[in-house]
Amino acid sequence: MTRALPAFSLGEEHLELRAAVRGLCEKEIAPRAAGVDANEAFPEASLRALTAARLHAVTLPERYGGEGGDHLAGVVVAEEVARACATTQQVAGSDELFALPLLLAGSEEQRQRYLPRIASGEGLGAFALSEPEAGSDVAAISTRATPTEGGWVLRGTKRWITNAGHADVYLVFAATGPKGGGKGLAAFVVEAGDPGLSFGAPERKMGMRGSPTREVYFDDVFVPADRLVGEPGEGMRIALATLDRTRATVAAQAVGIAQGALDVAVAYLTERLQFGKPLAAFQGLQFMVADMETQIRAARALTHAAARELDAHGGDITAAGAVAKCFASDMAMKVTTDAVQLLGGAGYVRDFPVERMMRDAKVTQIYEGTNQIQRLVIARSLLGAS
């Protein structure tokens, strides 16, 4: 059942974009979502449909072959795709994670070399930051970049890397100083064909099962000097500035998952009969869906506000992104859990998509900064703590 969404504060252009994305998703992406999850299959056909419609990287600037959409357009697209298939949105979203560091700190030559490939769909991007001993503690990165004639040699391991093994290009963070640490990080572009690059086995995940997540190994990978993004020592700034901007996208993903779960629950409540009447007639269940709708609207408003702040200022939106991501992902976990409850036994089996949505929602509380880290970020923005 498709319900018309309220317009909120979106203008005509963004409303038209949302309608177009929803139409595409309902036709090309949603029907494949259960199979992608059940088979842990890379969403090739869904990604191809997004790419053909030029919706996979809508915020890339026009001068690099993109659509030049603002960040609000980006979160509108992310929500609609995640509503249909969170895995597909996650795979496509890594293009933004690859591209943003180049837009923030890359040279014009690097942008011209790589971003048109992302914009056309010819290339798929990945963002390699986390490590076995460096998740929330980014400064603990131990992957090392050693200078050599003509470039750098990378050695180390990255973990939890989306699109690993499928991506054509990787934005990799490594320590360049003698002891690493936050002041000694640098960012590099690594290409899939570089000798010494290899991958671990696919992770067996609770959710987002068609989004490939693997370890990435750098065994003396030579990276030419012209693939250093920014300067040595700027890696921490580049990484955190990227995540500040992409957390609004994660928030949109969480809102989309929750909206999809609520849509299923509402349809089920109107059709399922108990005690001689539809479940929708029972006040206790009415209160549950009312709370779900309220929470989704609040999360969407925070997400749109973060995107608008970024569009307006283009600078430090650390708190806005953290607030949106933290609230929306916690909301998505609660709403999807409640959706399973509303469907009862039917919600617990794969005949209905809410159990998949509940599993998919969980990771939004974890990646791109756990919600515990988001709360630290928010508190520090208020209190000025170190």
List, by residue number, the catalytic residues.
368
Instruction: State whether the Cα torsion 79-84-88-90 is positive or negative.
Output: positive
DSSP code per residue over 226-289: GGEES-TT-HHHHHHHHHHHHHHHHHHHHHHHHHHHHHHHHHHHHH-EETTEEGGG-HHHHHHH
CA–CA distance, 279 with 300 (Å, rounded to integer): 27
Other beta carbons within 10 angstroms of residue 128's beta carbon come to 29
Count helices and strands (H / E) in the chain. Answer: 11, 10
147: enclosing H helix or E strand: strand 144-148
* 3-class SS of residue 144: strand
Which residue type, as a one-letter code, is found at position 290? A
Q: How far is CA 383 from CA 7, 51, 375, in A?
A: 35, 43, 12
